[in-house]
Structure 1
Amino acid sequence: MSSNVLHYDELKHFCQEAFGGFGFNEKDSAVITDVLLLSDLYGIDSHGTNRIVMYHELIKDGNIDIEAQPEIVMETPVSAVIDGKRGMGQLVACYAAETAIAKAKTSGIGLVTVRNSNHYGIAGYYSLMACREGLLGISMTNSRVSVLPTFGKTPMMGTNPFAISIPATPQPFNFDVATSVVPIGKVELYNKLGKQLPLGWGMNVDGLDETDPAKILAGIPFGRSGVHPVGGGTEEFGGHKGYGFSMVVEIFCSILSMGTTSNHIMEEKGQSGICHFIAAIDPKIFGDPSAIQEHLESYLDEIRNSEKATGRERIYTHGEKEVEAYAKRMEEGIPVNDKTIEEMKALADYLHMDFCQYFPTLKPLK
């Protein structure tokens, strides 16, 4: 399937207007759009513009309450528990991150766990919020059930990503990953593109490894198929470790918040129940922040400049590829596949928006 290159400003305008059409106010529409487009700019296409139709469906089905206001239901000087009230995940998570940052600036550390929220986009957006304030940021979320425990046939966890962002120059250390082999969004993207999956990504309803993304996706809503944790479906390559990482995220997000574990999300219509955990840590509680940052930067440089494997020219540290993709896509545009553009056009028609007005240089779809 082919793709078109759309300019950042065009996508930003369209997304903000679309979220306004969903019923969000101007400020909230801008925040949601910023999260989505940072994903696109970073090259994480599975969590960007590709998701806008999904959010619309969740709103129509009553899973997202656009009027919801998150509420702190328990609090200490260094911690808080937030009820997201089924609000838009990006808005709930930003509120949680702001709460964690404020506590870290006052008390040195801020730990916030969230229940009853929704899909919040890329985890790194919220850890980077803390990082930009000179703090160490941590962000985790559980998600709808889709990941199989090691040796299991029934999915019990979500893709449960986590991110850690730490100040450094020329760019922060920014580690943002799912605890599954791949996020479900990537399986969905392969399905849109008509591509087969690499063997070992997921399992079908018969408990066998599957390369057809449609067959994996078809069983996920019924808890009968899924993707493997990091390391795959056996212990041979460390699948039990990915399984454990996913469980750690689940504990920090849904257990500490007394929220919904991944395997019970979406059991009741209108109840989403996704949970998050966001932390901010002031490096001052460990010593001189400048010295700590210089120590990190020196180590990162040593890694980048260490000897390369045969046939390899570069070693990346986490966050470098995203920063480089950001610069390139801001200048050259963001590739969006034809299927997503078709979905966006249908959404524009539904909202009585003139799609061509937002993307005047877009070639007609075949």
Structure 2
Amino acid sequence: MRVQYEKLHRFCEETFQKYGFNSKDSFVIADVLVQADLFGVESHGVSRILKYIDLLEQKVIQIDAGTEIVKETKLSAVLDAHSAMGQLAATEAMQTAIKKAKQHGIGMVQLRNSNHYGIAGYYALLAAKEHLLGVSMTNSPAIMAPTFCAEALLGSNPIAFAMPAGKYPFLYDGATTVITRGKVELYQKTGKQLMEGWTVDETGKNEVRPDIILKNIREKRGGGILPVGGRGELSAGYKGYGYAMICEIMTSVLGGGVFSMHKTDKGDTSQCFYAVDYGMFGDKREIEDRMQMLISEIHQAKKEEGQQHIYTAGEKEFEKEKEYRENGIPVNDKTYQELEILGKKLGVAW
């Protein structure tokens, strides 16, 4: 089933207005969610709307909470979100970083006591749209079993990096686990089994049933999702483990937040937002041209047999966005039904 972009965006906006958010804030929340669907990241799009509503109804997400400046310099800030809606606190944090970068060359903002904020790439892209280099990371509840460890201690801990170029920015947004918890939940929702080598049970053996993996994570029974690279050292799983540690350091450690292994996912998420004005290294247009030159040289390289194009990070997502804006956004049957039911419950047209 495909749904037009405008219809999906409007539905999300009106839904969050029903829960007490003003029109401006509702637009921001909807924009983050629908952008994920435009990029083809279904696990972080409108399929998550019921999870946010559940947190709102439990009063975990505080509708009227505002960010508080804990510490600030010309180049940096530490903000406390006080369990505000993650998308709103995160957008404010990146806008603060952007403002500092425009004034002083670099802006570095740490955010603690936040909530799930959607796709990390959305915030890195906010900086890129201002011709700045953008970085965003977030920790999450423990789902990753580190190399040689039999229990989940680190989150999916995604890292997003955006750099302006020619046609599209370079936009990398990736979890440090082979898949995210959201993707495991999506497989459960659609009745699919996981790929072997993605997840392990409490004994460290392969487990492909998403319901078992989610139960083990929820009840802290052991096992979990493997780091990028997979199990052990042979396929370099320690690299994904290391990237997750870098994210944890840049979020909870520097921001004074809660470590992944102690998170409840109830207003205790730590995030970071960095913006860099690369104009301090030379002419900005020339740097962007060099970035495009690098991408173009990769495009022109010899292709693997049967392949027509070598992609760089973000290209597929921007191509999907163009197609989905024109022809509608794919929404799986289960999510479509959930949104229909939600619309009837709230009196929001679907």
TM-score normalised by L of structure 2: 0.97
Q: How does 1:264-343 map to 2 (within 5 A)?
A: 264-266=262-264, 271-343=266-338
Q: After superposition, what is the alpha-carbon deviation per residue over 1:120-168, rounded to whole angstroms, capped at 9, x for unaligned? A: 0000110111101110000100011111111112101110101110011
1:107 aligned to 2:104?
Answer: yes
Q: Following TM superposition, by how much is the alpha carbon of 1:243 offset from its aligned partner in structure 2, in angstroms?
A: 0.2
Percent identity of paired positions between Structure 1 and Structure 2:
46
Q: Following TM superposition, by how much is the alpha carbon of 1:296 offset from its aligned partner in structure 2, in angstroms?
A: 1.1
Please give the alpha-carbon distance, in whole angstroms, between the structure 2 residues aligned to 1:223 and 1:109. Answer: 40
Which stretches in structure 2 are left out of the alignment for 5+ residues? none
Q: Following TM superposition, by how much is the alpha carbon of 1:215 offset from its aligned partner in structure 2, in angstroms?
A: 1.0
Q: Following TM superposition, by how much is the alpha carbon of 1:109 offset from its aligned partner in structure 2, in angstroms?
A: 0.2
Please give the alpha-carbon distance, in whole angstroms, between the structure 2 residues aligned to 1:305 and 1:214. Answer: 44
Secondary structure of the structure 1 residue equivalent to 2:301: coil
**Aligned partner of 2:116 among 111, 115, 119:** 119
Give the aligned partner of residue 7 of structure 1. 4
For 2:313, the aligned partner's letter is H
Q: Following TM superposition, by how much is the alpha carbon of 1:311 offset from its aligned partner in structure 2, in angstroms?
A: 2.1
Secondary structure of the structure 2 residue equivalent to 1:339: helix
Q: How does 1:26-37 map to 2 (within 5 A)?
A: 26-37=23-34
1:169 aligned to 2:172?
Answer: no
Give the aligned partner of residue 184 of structure 1. 181
Please give the alpha-carbon distance, in whole angstroms, between the structure 2 residues aligned to 1:228 and 1:350. Answer: 39
Please give the alpha-carbon distance, in whole angstroms, between the structure 2 residues aligned to 1:93 and 1:322. Answer: 21
For 1:149, the aligned partner's letter is P
Secondary structure of the structure 2 residue equivalent to 1:197: coil
Please give the alpha-carbon distance, in whole angstroms, between the structure 1 residues aligned to 2:171 and 2:163. Answer: 7
Secondary structure of the structure 2 residue equivalent to 1:120: coil
Give the CA RMSD over aligned residues: 1.2
1:45 aligned to 2:42?
Answer: yes
Please give the alpha-carbon distance, in whole angstroms, between the structure 1 residues aligned to 2:202 and 2:155. Answer: 17
Secondary structure of the structure 2 residue equivalent to 1:296: helix
Most deviating of 306-315 and 204-213: 204-213
Does the 8 Å CA contact 1:146/1:223 hold for their aligned counterparts? no
**Aligned partner of 2:140 among 143, 146, 158:** 143
For 1:325, the aligned partner's letter is K
Please give the alpha-carbon distance, in whole angstroms, between the structure 2 residues aligned to 1:190 and 1:182. Answer: 11
Most deviating of 281-290 and 206-215: 206-215
For 1:106, the aligned partner's letter is Q
Secondary structure of the structure 1 residue equivalent to 2:255: coil
Give the aligned partner of residue 198 of structure 2. 201
Q: Following TM superposition, by how much is the alpha carbon of 1:207 offset from its aligned partner in structure 2, in angstroms?
A: 2.9
Does the 8 Å CA contact 1:205/1:216 hold for their aligned counterparts? no
Secondary structure of the structure 2 residue equivalent to 1:217: helix
Please give the alpha-carbon distance, in whole angstroms, between the structure 1 residues aligned to 2:54 and 2:342. Answer: 10
For 2:7, the aligned partner's letter is E
Q: Following TM superposition, by how much is the alpha carbon of 1:23 offset from its aligned partner in structure 2, in angstroms?
A: 1.4
Does the 8 Å CA contact 1:253/1:275 hold for their aligned counterparts? yes
Does the 8 Å CA contact 2:84/2:267 hold for their aligned counterparts? no
Q: Following TM superposition, by how much is the alpha carbon of 1:337 offset from its aligned partner in structure 2, in angstroms?
A: 1.0
Q: Following TM superposition, by how much is the alpha carbon of 1:118 offset from its aligned partner in structure 2, in angstroms?
A: 0.3
Q: After superposition, what is the alpha-carbon deviation per residue over 1:27-78, rounded to whole angstroms, capped at 9, x for unaligned? A: 1000000000010001111100111001011112222111110111100110
Please give the alpha-carbon distance, in whole angstroms, between the structure 1 residues aligned to 2:140 and 2:345. Answer: 28
**Aligned partner of 1:75 among 69, 72, 75:** 72
Secondary structure of the structure 1 residue equivalent to 2:35: helix
Most deviating of 246-255 and 9-18: 9-18
Does the 8 Å CA contact 2:81/2:114 hold for their aligned counterparts? yes
Please give the alpha-carbon distance, in whole angstroms, between the structure 2 residues aligned to 1:346 and 1:151. Answer: 44
Which stretches in structure 1 are left out of the alignment for 5+ residues? 359-366
Secondary structure of the structure 2 residue equivalent to 1:210: coil
For 2:329, the aligned partner's letter is I
Secondary structure of the structure 2 residue equivalent to 1:54: helix
TM-score normalised by L of structure 1: 0.93
Give the aligned partner of residue 363 of structure 1. none
Q: After superposition, what is the alpha-carbon deviation per residue over 1:190-230, rounded to whole angstroms, capped at 9, x for unaligned? A: 11111111101111234321111111111111222411110
Most deviating of 33-42 and 19-28: 19-28
